[in-house]
Amino acid sequence: MLINKNKFDVDKIDITSEENYINRRKILKLFGISTAIAIAPNALKANEKYSLKTITPENKAKSYNNFYEFGLDKSDPYKNAHTLKTRPWEIKITGEVAKEITLSIDDILRDIPIIQRAYRFRCVEAWSMNIPWNGFELNKLLNKVKIKGNAKFVQFKTKYAPDEMIGQRNSYIGGFIKYPYIEGLRIDEAMHPLTLIATGMYGKDLPNQNGAPLRLIVPWKYGFKSIKSIVEIKLVEKMPTSTWMQLQSEEYGFYANVNPNVSHPRWSQREERFIGGGFFNFKKVPTLMFNGYENEVASMYSRMDLVKNF
């Protein structure tokens, strides 16, 4: 079942420029020929109407990735992530809840209606894409437990399986990072209607390299917050740490809101390279406050110093 009710739902996005039009034709063609997607458990119906703004070509979105569990090169996850077993898959909701629960991905997909949203995606390394996700609002999953009043933050954990993830097995390939990869959000950020759990993209199941079978998408934050292949969501009292805070706390903060006015210590964040298609493979565009979602999310930070809380 598909429910559309948000202004970022793909069928509500306007197409204006000629470049968008060309891209749209490509995308429509792409969807048109892939009727096989209807078989996939969380696929969208092949006859759903699509209208998209400048969307990153699917082949770029699934071959230019950051997923350090499979190597540090942008092309490594595409080459190596096929070894990740995504079924059976369970996700636990633990910590400050009345009763901890464990759900299987198949139960979740059967139970929660799948929506499709096109979001801008901005990596802290100053490249960006625009990707149509399928999935559901994270609040739909969190509402399956009774959260205790003392819970203020949410911590997420990626699967730890060294025999399936070459970078967890070989610390050179995995960049000497301590795994599992962890991330966190404040509860209001986690409950925000823009915050998604993605289970697919481009109308198909999520490729392993993009974080199958389910990953977080927080469109107003730098991409490293959007943790992949999640096995645990823990409600906690205190601000949790994250993989990137552990690695370089002076460079990567907890909030990581996209902000053109706060430079990374080693580069400016004023512009980004948008990864599109055709001749405009990399196009320099200005970075927008909160990645363009200021109207939707700025009120959550109105009393916060965004320079200190980077």
Ligand X SMILES: Nc1nc2c(c(=O)[nH]1)N[C@H]1C(S)=C(S)[C@@H](COP(=O)(O)O)O[C@H]1N2
At CA 95, angle to CA 93 and CA 96, rounded to 5? 110
Residue 224, interface with ligand X (CB under 6 A)? yes
Q: Which of 227, 233, 245, 275 binds ligand X (CB under 6 A)?
A: 227
At CA 221, angle to CA 96 and CA 82, rounded to 5? 85
- Report the site for ligand X in 111-150 (rule: CB under 6 A): 123
Report d(CA 214, CA 198) in Å as an integer: 6
Q: What does the block give as tokens for 209?
A: 């390299």
Residue 108, interface with ligand X (CB under 6 A)? no
Q: What does the block give as tokens for 30?
A: 């792409």
Token match 């565009």: residue?
A: 285
Min dist. Cβ of residue 74 to ligand X (A)? 8
Min dist. Cβ of residue 15 to Mo ion (A)? 28
Q: What does the block give as tokens for 152?
A: 């203020």
Stretch of 144-152, 224-232, 253-261, 269-277 lying at the interface with ligand X (CB under 6 A):
224-232
Report d(CA 206, CA 40) in Å as an integer: 10
- CB nearer to Mo ion: give 132 or 223: 223
Q: Name which of ligand X, Mo ion, none residue 158 binds, using a CB cut-off of 5 to 8 Å depending on partner kind.
A: ligand X
- CB nearer to ligand X: give 220 or 224: 224
Q: What is the 3-class SS of 257-294, one letter each residue?
A: ECCCCCCECCECCCEEEEECCHHHCEEEEECCHHHHCH
Min dist. Cβ of residue 212 to ligand X (A)? 10
Residue 123, interface with Mo ion (CB under 5 A)? yes
- CB nearer to Mo ion: give 203 or 219: 219
The residue type found at 297 is V
Q: Name which of ligand X, Mo ion, none residue 57 binds, using a CB cut-off of 5 to 8 Å depending on partner kind.
A: none
Report d(CA 260, CA 290) in Å as an integer: 9
Q: In sequence order, what are the beta bridge partners of 284? A: 273
In this structure, the number of other CB atoms found within 10 A of the CB of residue 179 comes to: 21
# binding residues, Mo ion (CB under 5 A): 4
Q: What does the block give as tokens for 119?
A: 């979001």
- CB nearer to ligand X: give 195 or 210: 210
- Report the site for ligand X in 54-93 (rule: CB under 6 A): 65-69
- 26 secondary structure, DSSP code: H
Which positions from 137 to 176 touch Mo ion by CB under 5 A, shown as an x/- string? ----------------------------------------
Residue 20, interface with ligand X (CB under 6 A)? no
Report d(CA 275, CA 191) in Å as an integer: 29
Interface residues with ligand X (CB under 6 A) are 65-69, 123, 158, 181, 210-211, 223-224, 226-229
Interface residues with Mo ion (CB under 5 A) are 66, 123, 223-224
